[in-house]
């Protein structure tokens, strides 16, 4: 990967080149600490150049036919497919995920491209019910212009492509700022793919760099017609506050504190098995990780025992060298936040470590925390690590009330009574609720957009839902 033309370079206007600062920073293998490559430290001047290139390229790109744009996306996908094995290894090293996570991430990214190219060639708008007899009403999918995309480090390939692919397919151009912890798999590789695919210069640009520099410059840039941001609530709030001052269009995908409800009649072994995925997949570092286990008293002891038994048996280590269920955390900052601000601070308030609570470097043992109350950081904050906080409640009412008290994306409820489960799901204010299941790979992520409380601003029409990045100027006339 270090021999790539993209290594340590920005990709602007169809060319790889150094940032104005002339500076680069190393990219680490999260398990070993070895240097995997480098990324360019782009800044405001580089973002200016990238946005100017994207603006200049956009009318020509939009003027191409949908099949012509789709052909570019197909070649983009072909490059990723041809380099699939290398990209899986790169993702494992750069994010610290196990092979299954990397396979899912890269293949989902490719699928985003494939679906977007089909959407763009098959759907151009809709006929709408006319407002009165004799009138014809229609909506037409048209590009917005230049889309700025800022992505996090946890699923850098598919979280970039879920915005980039529909944006390009519908005639927009893009400036991508990937997370600084995963700039190769989340940025340089995508620049290589676009270059190989022969996308016209300026259609897809990658400015690597740190959040407060390159990210801030892109988020604030007046030449960006829509900013698509996926990341933390704190940064999302700052972007939203600044965008509000000028009514700059933004779309945010943030984090939350997802609830995992275990009711009095639940199959606790089933629930505990699902909890291993819901809370521990990719070391709990996903936006849909179960962050709070809200358990009715009747089953609390049995559920706690089942969690502790399972969590204690899991293997933690370098995903490249061993059969492990958990790899390293992404960096020391996240580890220290987890260990001190979440676990330590909650223990100081009376929570109890039932297993885990220790680490070796970035390898954090799966941790079950008992006696967690709603005032503790382990309950209130997005845990974002391999920690399962258990809060005991008296009944279903209290469970639903506590669950709904915080922003969340995806909840689960466990009960032997399916009708009861569906009724509770109706009352939970998450974007998606699973009954007797967790966020296993259902593909149901396509249904989350737009149905949630406080995590999203704007609706990203996800692949099966069309129409990608479009405005609707024709409207109802």
Question: Toward ligand NAD, which CB reaches closer, 192 or 228?
Answer: 228
CA 220, distance to chain mean position in Å, is 21
If you write DSSP's letter for every residue of 248-302 in order, what string do you get?
--EEEE----EEEEE-TT--HHHHHHHHHHHHHGGGG-STT-EEEEEEEHHHHHH
When computed from its CA atoms, the radius of gyration of the chain, rounded to whole angstroms, is 23
The pairing of beta strand 367-370 with beta strand 352-355: antiparallel
253 assigned to active site: yes
Q: Give the shortest CB-252-to-ligand NAD separation in angstroms.
A: 8
94, 213, 287, 325: which one is catalytic?
287
* All residues at 6 or more sequence positions from 306 whose CB lies less than 8 Å from its CB, including other chains: 268, 269, 271, 272
The residue whose Cβ lies closest to ligand NAD is: 211
Helix, strand, coil in percent for the chain, rounding step 5: 45, 20, 40
Minimum CB separation of residue 213 from ligand NAD in Å reads 9
> CA 393, 397, 398: angle at the middle one, nearest 5?
35
Cβ(460)–Cβ(112) below 8 Å: no
Name the residue nearer to ligand NAD (CB basis): 153 or 414.
153
Return the sign of the alpha-carbon dihedral for residues 449, 451, 452, 456.
positive
Compute the least distance from the CB of residue 18 to ligand NAD, in Å: 19
Catalytic site residue 274? no
Q: How far is the CB of 175 from ligand NAD (least distance, A)?
A: 12
Residue number with CB closer to ligand NAD (180 or 325): 180
Whichever of 171 and 215 has its CB closer to ligand NAD, that residue is 215
Q: What is the dihedral of CA 270, 275, 278, 281, to 10 degrees?
A: -110
Q: Given 105, 192, 253, 381, which residue is catalytic? A: 253
Residues lying near ligand NAD in the complex (CB under 6 A) are found at: 150-154, 159, 177, 179-180, 211-212, 215-216, 219, 230-233, 235, 238, 253-255, 287, 382, 384, 409, 455
Are 421 and 435 contacting, i.e. CB atoms less than 8 angstroms apart? yes
Q: Compute the least distance from the CB of residue 149 to ligand NAD, in Å.
A: 9
- What is the nearest approach in angstroms of ligand NAD to the Cβ of residue 281? 13
> Whole-angstrom Cα distance, residue 403 to residue 432?
13
**Chain center to CA of 172:** 21
**Residue whose CB is less far from ligand NAD, 72 or 209:** 209
Q: Quick one: 41 or 117, whose CB is closer to ligand NAD?
A: 41
The residues annotated as belonging to the active site are 253, 287
């Amino acid at each position: 990967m270090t021999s790539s033309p993209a290594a340590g370079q920005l990709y602007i206007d169809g060319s790889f080149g150094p940032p104005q600062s002339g500076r680069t920073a190393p990219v680490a293998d999260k398990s070993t600490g070895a240097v995997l490559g480098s990324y360019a430290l782009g800044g405001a001047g580089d973002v200016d150049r990238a946005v100017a290139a994207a603006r200049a390229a956009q009318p020509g790109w939009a003027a191409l036919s949908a099949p012509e744009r789709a052909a570019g996306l197909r070649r983009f996908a072909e490059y990723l497919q041809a380099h699939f094995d290398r990209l899986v290894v790169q993702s494992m090293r750069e994010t610290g995920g196990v092979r299954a996570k990397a396979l899912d991430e890269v293949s989902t990214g490719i699928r985003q491209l494939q679906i977007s190219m089909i959407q763009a060639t098959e759907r151009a708008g809709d006929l709408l019910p006319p407002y009165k007899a004799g009138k014809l009403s229609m909506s037409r999918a048209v590009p917005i212009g230049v889309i700025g995309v800022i992505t996090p480090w946890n699923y850098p390939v598919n979280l970039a492509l879920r915005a980039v692919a529909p944006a390009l397919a519908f005639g927009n151009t893009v400036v991508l700022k990937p997370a600084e912890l995963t700039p190769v798999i989340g940025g340089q590789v995508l620049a290589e793919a676009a270059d190989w695919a022969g996308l016209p210069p300026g259609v897809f640009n990658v400015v690597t760099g740190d959040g407060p520099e390159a990210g801030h410059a892109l988020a604030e840039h007046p030449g960006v017609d829509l900013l698509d941001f996926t990341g933390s609530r704190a940064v999302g709030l700052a972007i939203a506050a600044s965008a509000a001052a000028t009514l700059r269009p933004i779309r945010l995908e943030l984090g939350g504190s997802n609830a995992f409800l275990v009711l009095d009649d639940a199959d606790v072994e089933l629930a505990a098995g699902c909890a291993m995925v819901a809370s521990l997949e990719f070391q709990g570092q996903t936006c849909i990780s179960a962050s709070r286990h809200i358990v009715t008293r009747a089953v609390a002891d049995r559920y706690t025992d089942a969690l502790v038994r399972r969590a204690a048996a899991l293997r933690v280590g370098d995903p490249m060298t061993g059969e492990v269920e958990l790899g390293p955390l992404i960096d020391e900052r996240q580890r220290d936040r987890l260990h001190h601000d979440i676990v330590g601070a909650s223990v100081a308030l009376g929570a109890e470590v039932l297993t885990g609570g220790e680490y070796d470097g970035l390898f954090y043992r799966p941790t079950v925390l008992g006696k967690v109350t709603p005032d503790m950081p382990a309950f209130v904050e997005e845990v974002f690590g391999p920690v399962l906080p258990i809060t005991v409640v008296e009944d279903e009412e209290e469970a639903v009330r506590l669950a709904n008290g915080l922003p969340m994306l995806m909840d689960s409820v466990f009960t032997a009574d399916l009708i009861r489960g569906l009724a509770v799901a109706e009352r939970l204010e998450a974007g998606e609720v699973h009954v007797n299941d967790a966020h296993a790979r259902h593909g149901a992520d396509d249904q989350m957009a737009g149905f949630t409380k406080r995590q999203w601003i704007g609706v990203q029409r996800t692949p099966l839902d069309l129409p990608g990045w479009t405005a609707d100027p024709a409207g109802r006339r």
